[in-house]
Structure formats: structure tokens, C-alpha cells
Amino acid sequence: MLENIDFGYACISSIIKDCSTARTVPLSSFTKIKDDEAKIYRLETVARENLKNIVRLLWHNLAEGINMYRFLLF
């Protein structure tokens, strides 16, 4: 059974702007958020934005005939 699967998108689009799939929440800024609900909201917002951008890139790849996505198993 696979315990760890890392899904990755191994490219940065030079065509689609504002499409980062690797936004993060630095620990230094995360620990400054006092309210637990606000912490969850921040994490969800960043994760949602990353996933939205992955979908944008996948649709772009489909339209351009690019059939590649990387899965790392370890």
C-alpha cells in the first residue's frame, strides 16, 4: 500500500499569468494568526488557489495537446 504520494506539476507556464501552483503559508506568518478559524481559512484559501491554478494549467495543456503530469511515489 502506498503511504505517501506527492502530486506535482513540473512546469511554470510562460503563457498563463498569475498561475502559481506552489503558494505557501510561511510558518512565521501562520503563527501570527491568533484565531484558529482564521488559520484554517488561510490554509484553505491558499490550497484552493493552488488547486484552481492546477486545473487552469491542465485545461491549457489539454487545449495545446500537452499530455504530461508528474506523480512522485515514495
Q: What residues form DSSP beta bridges with 1?
A: none
pTM (predicted TM-score): 0.73
Q: Which residue has the higher pLDDT, 74 or 17?
A: 17
Q: Domain locations in the chain?
A: 5-68
The residue type found at 30 is F
72 pLDDT higher than 90 = no
Q: What is the per-residue pLDDT for 12?
A: 76
Instruction: Tell which residue, 24, 21, 23, has the closest CA to residue 58.
Output: 21
pLDDT digits (tens, 9 = 90+) for 8-66: 556 678 888 898 888 999 999 999 999 999 999 999 999 999 999 989 988 988 898 87
Sign of the Cα pseudo-torsion (72, 46, 16, 14, in order): negative
4 pLDDT higher than 80 = no
* Cα 66–Cα 68–Cα 72 angle in degrees, nearest 5: 165
- Span between the terminal Cα atoms of the chain, in Å: 11
